Amino acid sequence: MVLDHSKPTLTPRKLKTMPPREYPSEAKELCRKLYCEFGGNPAQIEKGMQKQYPGWTRRLLNDRGKGSEARHGWITKFGFEKSLELHQQSQIASVQNADERRYQAVVALADIYQEKALQGDEKAVSLFIKLTDQQIELRSKLDLTSGNFETFVESFERMVLWAKDIDTDLAKLFYRRKDEFIEMAAAHYGKNGIEQ
């Protein structure tokens, strides 16, 4: 009699009944960090996760099944979308804060050189003029970066054009959902009555 010592084969039925692998909270937080860092890109998240958790797969991110067989993926279960939204908002805010600080510094310097120029300092006059030009330029950039409905629409139209160069399916998706994006932007920026 010959004994078969080979590993048992895993059939789809056996795989379905196997309990899901549990990961420590550190793995979930690392995944959340990678989700935010890579903007939800599953391939990059999987690559990053597998460095510390070799068996980890991107399938864990998404919901699977329907009805009583449904299982929430990590995105839903651990609120990754909200984390990504907060991460993006904080990045935008930090850029706007840095730009605002730069603008305020130029305004302060312009005030100093304006006083000197008014007292007859010839060098201060040319520096005051340069600083005033910088102040105007920075202010216009701040105005463009601060959120308003019109700049959103312009940026969205530009993004759709860029999407065509990247992936035509992406451009089609943007175009199909254009009205929804514009309605959401109108609500976000407090614009009543959408002109299209």
Domain spans in the chain, listed from the N-terminal domain onward: 23-61+72-78, 92-146, 147-191
pTM above 0.85, yes or no: no
- What confidence tens digit (pLDDT) does each residue in 75-97 have? 999 999 888 888 877 776 666 67
Which of 27, 50, 48, 26 lies closest to 39 in space, CA to CA? 48
Q: CA angle at residue 82 from 81 to 88, to 5 degrees? A: 90
What pLDDT shows up at residue 94? 66
First CA to last CA across the chain, in angstroms?
Answer: 81
Q: What is the mean pLDDT of the chain?
A: 79
**Rounded to whole angstroms, how far apart are CA atoms 60 and 52?**
15
pLDDT band at 54 (very low <50, low <70, confident <90, very high): very high
Residue with tokens 């008014």: 118
Which of 85, 35, 86 lies closest to 60 in space, CA to CA? 35
- What confidence tens digit (pLDDT) does each residue in 121-163 have? 888 888 888 988 888 888 777 765 556 666 777 777 778 778 7
Q: Determine the residue type at 157.
A: E
Residue with tokens 């979308």: 81
Task: Mean pLDDT check: name the lowest of 42-51, 70-79, 113-122, 159-168.
Answer: 159-168
Strand partners, 71: 64
